[in-house]
Amino acid sequence: MVETLLAFVNTRADGAGRPELFGDGEAFAAWLAEHDEFGGEIVATDADAAAARELRDALVTLLLAHSGDEESLGEPLRHAERHLRRAGALYPLATVVTAGGVELASPQDGVAHVFGSVLAAVTTFAQAGDWGRVKACRNPPCHFGFFDRTRNGAGLYCSTGCGSQVSMRNYRRRQRRENDAPPEA
């Protein structure tokens, strides 16, 4: 289920050259066609793509909060949570019971099914107790979603490369401050 969530949230453009995959209805439909977990060929409009970006961005804000990102806390987090509550009401889930087990699924069709499936993945993963380990990279141009596999759950970056970029920026910032400081008398 985490793969479904990460596939959805990792569709945004970033400073590393990843393109926006939900830019318009055609791009959103093309992305959906590549992901069988959402039902394959679905017609999507520009409004659907905009709704997908809003849902994705609200989820990324929550994942940044899981990483302890200061900028995502406060009003951005409250806004994201309100948006996700509305999405939960618009895209309800159904319990599907079979001999093989129980799962949550979206009873809707089309784009509504896609959004419901993403919310079902979030719910299922949260009920497993690992929701806090799904995070977004704290490297500002990245914000790539990832599952924190560290033993203590303290991972902040999607890769060592992003961690190195943040460390280098912090080092350069400290160097500038030291160089700009007035000399001691």
pLDDT at 1: 73
How far out from the chain centre does Cα 85 lie?
Answer: 16
How far out from the chain centre does Cα 57 lie?
Answer: 7
| pLDDT for 16 beyond 80 | no
| pLDDT for 181 beyond 90 | no
Contact present, 44 and 28 (Cβ < 8 Å): yes
Contact present, 20 and 12 (Cβ < 8 Å): yes
Higher-pLDDT residue of 184 and 87 is 87
